[in-house]
Amino acid sequence: MAVAHHNLGAIWRFWVETMKIPFLIGLTGIIGAVIAAQSGSADSLLEKHTKQLQTSTVLSAEFTVQNLPGGPADYKLKLAKPSKFRLETPDEVVVANGATIWTYKKSDNSYSQATQTEDDLKAFLKRDAVLPWAGFFAKEPFKNTTGQKVGTKHMVKGKAVEDVSLTLAGKPERTATFFVDQALGVARGVSLKDSADKSTIILAKELAISKDPAHDADFEFSIPDGAKKVDPNAKHAGVTYEKVATIFQTNCGGCHNAGRPKAGLDLTSYAATMAGGRSGKEIIVGDPDNSPLMAYLKAAGKPQMPPNGSLSQSDIDLIGSWIKDGAFEK
Ligand code: HEC
C-alpha cells in the first residue's frame, strides 16, 4: 500500500516535471500573442512610419495646430521629393520648389524670394508644425529622441490610431506623443508638452501619401494682389536686437537663461526673448508702453528687474526704442 502510494506520488511528480516546461512555453506564447495583438513595439511603429514616409514621393496634409489654451488654427502642408515644400499657416505661406524659396507674410502683405539652400530645408524641418512628417525628408527623424513607448489605441477624427510617446532632446526637453494611423502606418499628428506644461496639439484632418509624381504647380508661388517684395537679408533701420542682446546677457542672463529660466523667461536668444515667459509675451512689437517687459524695467506696477537694482536710464531707453522700431532681430 505504502509502495503503491509512493508510486502514485512519483508518477504525479514525473507528470508535473515533464509537463511544466511545455506548459510554461505555451503560457509565454499565449501572453506574447496577446501583447502582440494589443500593440506593436514603439520601435516597429516608428520604423514603419518612417519607412512609409521615406518611400513616398508626395505627401499632403490639412491639419490644425493648437497652442493650449488657445483654439485650433488651420494649416496646409505639401511635400515632394527631393526638396519641395509648401506650408500655409494663418500668418504666412512658405513655398520652395527645389531652386527658389518664397516667404509671404500676411500681416504686411509682403514676400521675399531667395535661392533655396540645404539650410532652408533643415530649418523648415525644425518647425513644430512639420514634426509629425519630418521623416519624409529627414533620414533619422527620431535620432535625438529617447524613452519610446507605446500607449493606448484610440480614435482621432474618425481614424484608429495608436500612441507612441518619446522625449525630444532640446531646451526645454519635450514629450511628444505621436498618433500613428493604424491603416496608413503614418502619424496623423502629435501632442507636445514641455516641463512647464505648455501644450501644442497638431492633428491632421486630411492626410495622404503616394508614390505618384508631384504636381509642380503645388510648389510655385503666385504673388498675391498688391504684395510688395522685400529683401530677406536687408538690415532694418533703427535699433536691432544685436544692441539690446548685450544688455540682456549682462544683466538678465544669470537668471533668465535656457537652463532654468526664472518665471519661464529665457532672455539669451532672440527667439526665446520674443516667445516670452510664464505669463506670456513680454514684448509687444512697436508698443513699448504696453510691453510688460518695460514695466518690470521701470518697476511700474511690477517687481523691479533686475531685482537688485535698476538698469541705467539709457539702457532702458534703448530697449524701449528697440521695441518701438519693431523689435527686429537684424
Ligand atoms: C537675480 C535673478 C534675476 C535677474 C538678474 C533678473 N530677473 Fe527677471 N525675474 C526673476 C524672478 C525670480 C522672476 C519672477 C518674479 C515674480 O514672480 O515675482 C522674474 C520675472 C521676470 C519677468 C516676468 C516674466 C513672466 O512671464 O512672468 C520679466 C519680464 C523679467 N523678469 C525681466 C527681467 C529682465 C529684463 C532682466 C534684466 C534686465 C531680469 N529680469 C533680471 C529673477 C531675475
CA–CA gap between residue 258 and residue 275 (Å, rounded)? 12
CA 329–ligand 1 middle distance (angstroms): 22
Tell me which of 251, 304, 305, 308 to substitute to probe ligand 1's pocket, judged by most ligand atoms within 8 Å of the beta carbon: 305
Residue 220's nearest CA partner among 84, 40, 320 is 84
Contacts for 25 with CB less than 8 Å, ≥ 6 apart: none
CA 327–ligand 1 middle distance (angstroms): 19
Mean pLDDT for 19-44 is: 54
Show the CA angle centred on residue 150, arms to residues 126 and 60, nearest 5°. Answer: 40
CA–CA gap between residue 57 and residue 292 (Å, rounded)? 47
Q: Is the beta carbon of 250 within 6 A of some atom in ligand 1? A: no
Confidence class for position 144, pLDDT limits 50, 70, 90: confident
Contact indicator for 223, 217 with CB cutoff of 8 Å: no
Q: Atom 2 in ligand 1: which residue has the minimum CA distance?
A: 255
Q: Is the beta carbon of 84 within 6 A of some atom in ligand 1? A: no
For residue 114 the three cell numbers come to 531667395
Question: What pLDDT, in 10s, does the model give residues 215-231?
Answer: 999 999 999 999 999 88
CA–CA gap between residue 209 and residue 293 (Å, rounded)? 45
- The residue with greater pLDDT, 3 or 144, is 144
Tell me which of 255, 284, 293 to substitute to probe ligand 1's pocket, judged by most ligand atoms within 8 Å of the beta carbon: 255
Mean pLDDT for 24-36 is: 45
The whole-number pLDDT of residue 216 equals 94
The whole-number pLDDT of residue 33 equals 41
CA 100–ligand 1 middle distance (angstroms): 42
Whether the predicted pLDDT of 153 surpasses 50: yes
CA–CA gap between residue 42 and residue 149 (Å, rounded)? 5
The whole-number pLDDT of residue 233 equals 66
CA–CA gap between residue 121 and residue 328 (Å, rounded)? 23
Whether the predicted pLDDT of 5 surpasses 80: no
The whole-number pLDDT of residue 29 equals 45
Residues of the chain above pLDDT 70, percent: 87
Question: What pLDDT, in 10s, does the model give residues 266-296?
Answer: 999 999 999 999 888 999 988 999 999 999 9
Confidence class for position 4, pLDDT limits 50, 70, 90: very low
Q: Atom 36 in ligand 1: which residue has the minimum CA distance?
A: 252
Residues of the chain above pLDDT 90, percent: 72
Question: What pLDDT, in 10s, does the model give residues 99-135?
Answer: 999 999 998 899 999 999 998 999 899 899 999 999 9
Confidence class for position 172, pLDDT limits 50, 70, 90: confident
The whole-number pLDDT of residue 27 equals 47
CA–CA gap between residue 247 and residue 244 (Å, rounded)? 5
- The residue with greater pLDDT, 22 or 149, is 149
